[in-house]
Amino acid sequence: MTELQSAAQTRLKITEIFHSLQGEATNVGLPTVFIRLTGCPLRCDYCDTAYAFSGGEWIDIEAIISNIKQYNTTHITVTGGEPLAQKNCIELLNQLCDLNYDVSLETSGAILVDQVDKRVVKVLDVKTPASKEDSKNKFENFMFLNAKDQVKFVICDENDYRWSKQIIDEHKLESRCEILFSPSHDQLDATVLANWVLEDKLNVRFQIQLHKYLWGDKPGV
């Protein structure tokens, strides 16, 4: 293997690395370093990170880890775009776990997660009909979930809500992992979704995107 090939195998295309409060999932509110990988094969209707579809900068895994050490936190979230679209993401996750970081991975559910280190908390989207990318869901991913993992439904309307309940029942998700219901920002009133969850006595975690309430809908927060 040439030096050039070896270097290429440890690089990732990165849109941004930033320090913020975790805005979602069970670590909500904890200071966290976010590593946002560039690129995504999906085009969800409500996507709030379209700026990560292209551009970015190639950075060695070693340099990524050196960068995050400046922040005094053990919590790291690898996100995108779709981070698993880059093969070296698996190596980045392994190295972060070896360094004893508390690592979570935000993924679209459209790429198999079977190679992801078991120490990583997977936050796996299920794409609802209103995302217009529901045909990309790989439901076989549910087989690779552990109890600490989380499945997230971003719900845009009542049809999405009913569809999500059906998916939970069909795949017995309640017994597999934590389930997150999140209203699509600007599309569904958060209170409406909260009331549906209570009326139907669902065993799901309702959440809103904390960072958008604190800093608005913009990159780097």
- Here the tokens at position 106 are 């935000």
Question: Scanning residues 49 to 78, which ones bind ligand SF4 (CB under 6 A)?
Answer: 49
CB contact at 8 A, 66 and 92? no
- Residues 97 and 101: their CA atoms lie apart, in Å, by 5
Q: What are phi and psi of 73, to 5 degrees?
A: -140, 150
How far, in Å, are 6, 7, 61, 71, 164 from residue 92 at the CA level?
Answer: 15, 14, 6, 18, 32
Pick the binder of ligand SF4 from 56, 80, 83, 183 (CB under 6 A).
80
Q: Which of 23, 56, 81, 83 binds ligand SF4 (CB under 6 A)?
A: 81
Nearer to ligand SF4, 50 or 198 (CB): 50
Contact map string, positions 101 to 140, toward ligand SF4, x by CB under 6 A: -------x--------------------------------
- The residues in 16-45 that bind ligand SF4, with binding defined as CB under 6 A, are 40, 42-44
Q: Assess 160 for contact with ligand SF4 (CB under 6 A).
A: no
**E strand map for the chain:** 11-21, 31-37, 57-60, 75-79, 102-107, 121-126, 150-155, 178-183, 205-206
Contact between residue 12 and residue 61 where contact means Cβ atoms under 8 Å apart: yes
CB of 199 to ligand SF4, least distance (A): 28
Q: Which of 112, 202, 115 is nearest to 153 (CA)?
A: 202
Q: Quick one: 32 or 182, whose CB is closer to ligand SF4?
A: 182
Cβ closest to ligand SF4, residue 70 vs residue 135? 135
Minimum CB distance to ligand SF4 smaller for 119 or for 212:
212
Q: How far is the CB of 83 from ligand SF4 (least distance, A)?
A: 9
Residue 195 CB, shortest distance to ligand SF4, in Å, is 25
Identify which range of 80-88, 97-105, 140-148, 193-201 contacts ligand SF4 by CB under 6 A. Answer: 80-88
Spatial distance between the Cα atoms of 23 and 150, rounded to a whole number of angstroms: 14
Give the pair of three-digit tokens for residue 22: 């975790």
Residues that bind ligand SF4 (CB under 6 A): 40, 42-44, 47, 49, 80-82, 108
